[in-house]
Structure 1
Amino acid sequence: PPYYEDSVPNPIAVYAASKYEGEKIVKDQAMIVRIAYPYRAVFETKKDFFRTFKLFLEQKKSLRMITDSLMTPTFIDDIAFGLKQLFQNYSPEIFHLVGANSLSPYDACQTIAQQFKLDQSLIGKTSYEEYVKDKASLPKLVDIRSKKNNFWKMKTFSEGLNEIKLHL
């Protein structure tokens, strides 16, 4: 099911649990803004998932991507504009500033390959169970949506990639 602002959190990892504990402490006096899988054209400080996948494909490296889980990629420029709107209309509540669609990591990687004309045959499939074996727990279905965002139209993943292509 989608995860909305009013959904009851059920953190499965230590990091997520610590964020939730922090939210409970400040929720009555602070605005809480949740984002998911941020990406953008240029950000030298840290590689996001988009640039990591794109670089692997450009270097002709194969990837095994999860087909049975979801992520909600969010274009960073949308986050910035959304935050500006939220701060100008401050209210101590929870908001989700997330992309307009959720998709599997496999589909996200396929979309990157298609949009940037990279070799899609380098992208293999794996399951969530196979990927997380011997790793820390990760959320499987991160279909984050907003009931409250009527102030900024967030881009779909394809729309965000189109915007990135204009700046590369």
Structure 2
Amino acid sequence: MSVAEPRRIVLFRHAKADWPQVTDHERPLAERGRMDAAVAGRRLTDTGIPVDLALCSTSTRTRETWKLAVHEFPHRPKTVYEERIYEASPGELIALLNESPDDVRTIVVIGHNPGIQGLADILSGSSEGDAGERMSRRGFPAAAFAVLSFEGPWKALEPGVATLRDYWAPEE
């Protein structure tokens, strides 16, 4: 693959979590979250974007979200559970994406707010159609995802270089 071919990043916020008496890292999905994670997986599949690599936070709610979403995929991508995603800032997420191998074309990052929404905002130098307006209006609720693209190697990913191509959030 040439580094000139567009790369895609899917920024996927974990689905709605429950609040039992456990540490934040161990919070599981709520019933609503389990339903929304599967719907998000189907919606992401409907985009037709083949995912090469998933980078998932190690928290219980992100792992559960990804397990339910990826079950809807026709092909299960390689998944790396990455503890650096938990509580990561947008800059830390960019640094993590900069480490990605150049033979990977599309990466989904399953993480948390405010980092995921902040990263979508920071990377998006432009948007396609009404995706930017919809994301601005809805914010980044649980189980939402944004699809961005950019050209060049992963090490060239930086603020403003991407185009927001799609945005989806579950119905409230």
Question: Which of the five TM-score ranges fits, normalised by the shorter chain?
Answer: under 0.3
Computing the radius of gyration over CA atoms, which structure comes out larger, 1 or 2?
A: 1
Bigger proportion of residues as strand: 2
Q: TM-score, normalised by structure 2?
A: 0.23
Q: TM-score, normalised by structure 1?
A: 0.23
